[in-house]
Amino acid sequence: MFKSKKLFAGISMIFILFLFVVWLYNNIVTDTQSSSQNLLGKHVQTFLTPQEAIAQKGVNVSISDVAEKSVKSVVNISSKKVIKSPYGGQNSPYFNDPFFKRFFGPNFRFDEPSEQRQQSLGSGVIVSKDGIILTNNHVIQDAEEIKVVLHDEREFEAEILGTDPESDLAVVKLKGDVKDLQPLTFGNSDVLRLGEYVLAIGNPFGLSHTVTMGIVSAKGRNHVGLVDYEDFIQTDAAINPGNSGGALINLQGELVGINTAIASQSGGYQGVGFAIPSNMAKTVMDNLIDHGKIVRGWLGVGIQEITQDIADAMNLSSRKGILVSDVFEDGPAEKAGLKSGDIITRVENEEIDSVDQLRNKIAFIGPDTKVTVTILRDGKEKDISVKLAERTDEVRQAALTRQKSENSDSLDGLTVSQLNDTIKNQFKIPEEIDYGVVILQVESGSKASQAGLMPGDVIREINNKTIDSIDLFRNEYKNSKKAVLLYVYRNGGHFFKGLSK
């Protein structure tokens, strides 16, 4: 009897221990799973699906709702223009050869230009109920006839209200009785974030009202080489020929960009597309509608990036800011006291990181506006108040002419400047060095760089000929057939340097 009780007690203890192990295991697993889910949840929140992104912003619509509504605001634009052929309609100048004239007769004029009609296709975005459409300048450039097809297949002729080749934007307006138009609302392109979902709508390859989706790959893209004023949004939403002038929209259905170009080796989509930000597009559009042209601000300076070579030569601790290489006579900057060698670090308290950023900011602030320009001079910061002027065509042409005459690209790898007092102070060149051209920048990997030339060097002679101007420097270099012998001043001494062409 005693043994039976002991056996029963042992079995009971084992059973209780088993239940305790099961309870403990369940609690550990549950807690682990809960912790894992919480941890996973924190990471999942940074990788939202497009639908979740819409829901997070409190918008009770789907991507399909956004696309189907927005597509009605994008139009198909076809433009026709007349191209004059210098070969009388023939494809080759060989038709001017007397041998061919024997077959076509003496009265056939091969030297008279003939006219050929060329048609281009693109896209546009309706931005007002009275029929104003925003598109790219290259879509309607030199057009004699513009036809617009809406989403519901209605066709209209359109007139040009204004164009701006420097930003590749144009504004056209539908003719006739327009009604039931659905314009897009402008969004704030400045608040776009990297990785944010966007839709591209246009007419690629003539396939009307095509919608593609991607993300914002980059912002502030410049140096693309398409236009003078570049501040592109880069996206991987599929953009192809025919998408130009179409809409880039966010998930709220707001217009955040005008699709403009692609980077491609094949001519088709390869994952890199560019759109003009809506904030820039709206500013240009408003100017074109109000003035028929773009009224841009002008500071009156020549500017350049600060390379590491320039930073070393000027004993700068960093490359932040933009170097003033020239100050135009009687311009706003000269009147305010800016000098060559100043480094512009901020405009209206916004940090300046690139030449394009500075040019765009000044341009879109506009003329007759006082701005605070923060500069670095002799190692000290200084705020200067400048009243901007208008960047007229005359001002632009004068600036281009002056820049061409004072900066030379004839010697590959070198950027040079005329020798003057400001440059002398900048590079600590003594007074007795009274002629020559000063090297401002040496391109990395160039022949000039390989030869050991440096910013601050003064080129005084080329092939034993004295150099006292940029034009003479350029001409002497171009006239040298095989090699160039330079006579250079640096740090109190002179030396010769041979440079192969």
Q: Which residues belong to the active site?
A: 138, 168, 244
CB–CB of 272/236 below 8 Å?
yes
Token pair of 284, please? Answer: 């240009």
Per-residue exposure over 307-319, b if at least 16 CB sit within 10 Å of its own CB, e if not: bebbbebbebeee
Token pair of 393, please? Answer: 């065509």
State the number of CA atoms in the 13 A half-sphere of 254 facing the CB. 16
- Which positions ≥6 away from 95 have C-beta within 8 Å? 87, 88, 104, 110
Alpha helices (H) along 45-181: 50-56, 63-70, 98-104, 137-140
- With 0-12 / 13-18 / 19 or more C-beta atoms within 10 angstroms meaning exposed / middle / buried, residue 454 is middle
CB–CB of 96/112 below 8 Å?
no
Closest CA to 499 of 453, 464, 468, 456: 453
Token pair of 14, please? Answer: 């084992």
CA distances for 173 relative to 131, 168, 188, angstroms: 5, 17, 24
Q: Which H or E run includes 276?
A: strand 273-277
Distance CA(250)–CA(137), nearest Å, equals: 23
How many other CB atoms are found less than 10 A from the CB of residue 447? Answer: 16
Residue with tokens 């002679």: 461
- Which positions ≥6 away from 335 have C-beta within 8 Å? 386, 387
CA distances for 361 relative to 119, 141, 255, 367, 388, angstroms: 36, 26, 21, 12, 12
SS3 label, residue 153: coil
Distance CA(173)–CA(157), nearest Å, equals: 9
